[in-house]
Amino acid sequence: MSLLTINDLSLGYESHAILEHLSFSVNAGDYLCVVGENGSGKSTLMRTVLGLQKPLGGSIEFGSGMQRNEIGYLPQQTAIQKDFPATVWEIVLSGCQARIGRRAFYTKAEKALAEENLSRMGMADYRKRCYRELSGGQQQRVLLARALCATRKLLLLDEPVSGLDPKVTAEMYALIERLNREGVTIIMISHDIAAAIRYATHILHVGGGQTFFGSVDEY
């Protein structure tokens, strides 16, 4: 069943379209890699799905009881974010914010969820460490744990291995693949077409004057 359906979507800024007439759907359990050249609209697509940017046209529909605030998101990190002066625990727990509403405090269930996801990412022993003291790979695991606190259904990952060395990159891909096998639907922006073909079930290729969406075999 479809979690996300994109119908004739046009994306851009101030009426200037980057992508036009984009249509595709993502079903529960899919692993979709979005590939294409820089400036082709990949990150803009993610921001639009998240509701951070309005589309120029078309529609985005959620199915299977999915709500927009139930999407887990791992954005590209900036230098300022990598130097963020908070503990690992504070960052991961903040992934539960969409559940809080007007409450002033986190519940026991939310704290238990944060603990669970820290353990899932192999970062439980780092909960008191300052985030900016961690390696790049450890920071990405923390952010992935945070994103998992927001969802049990759909993760949006924007270049999650950017800047990581080959060994840590392979570990991160294996971790994301494991989450997908456990039932989390993945939409990941990647410049690594070889990895996309290896791990994904579907490919969305944008830019270059044409758009492709289909299975890895079709691609």
The Cα 75–Cα 6 span in angstroms is 21
pLDDT tens for residues 36-47?
888 888 999 999
Quote the pTM value.
0.92
Average of pLDDT values for 142-170? 93
C-alpha span between 69 and 150 (Å, rounded): 8
Residue 189 contacts residue 157 (beta carbons within 8 Å): yes
Q: Are 51 and 28 in contact (CB under 8 A)?
A: no
How far is C-alpha 13 from the geometric centre of its chain's CA atoms?
A: 22
Task: Say which residue, 128 or 38, is predicted with more confidence.
Answer: 128
- Identify the residue with better confidence: 76 or 78: 76
